[in-house]
Amino acid sequence: MTYYCLYQVTNLVNGKIYIGIHKTTNLNDSYIGSGKLIKAAIKKYGIAHFKKEILETFATEQEMIDREIQLVTEEFCERK
């Protein structure tokens, strides 16, 4: 079965969050994000200082993409 997930990764050191999407066959895989900022933060703080939560799952890839677009707005990206 394929899962389409919206997830949140929280940096436990500084409280910063990253929201992303992921297509997988295993909800418990080790994927934690692929963006430049999350990769840099993991390199700086170490993977042990991050927590991943699956916020929502979807029936289709397009539903997943649409939901990410709703949440990750310009305003969201510019918050402190």
Give the pLDDT confidence of 20-79 residue by residue, as tens digits: 999 999 999 999 999 999 999 999 999 999 999 999 999 999 999 999 999 999 998 888
Cα–Cα distance measured from residue 59 to residue 73, given in angstroms and rounded to the nearest whole number: 23
Q: Is the pLDDT of residue 80 over 80?
A: no
Cα separations (Å) of 60 from 2, 6, 50?
Answer: 9, 12, 27
Q: What is the Cα–Cα distance from 23 to 56, expressed in whole angstroms?
A: 12
pTM of the full structure: 0.90
Q: How far is CA 79 from CA 28, 41, 47, 55, 73, in A?
A: 29, 17, 23, 20, 10
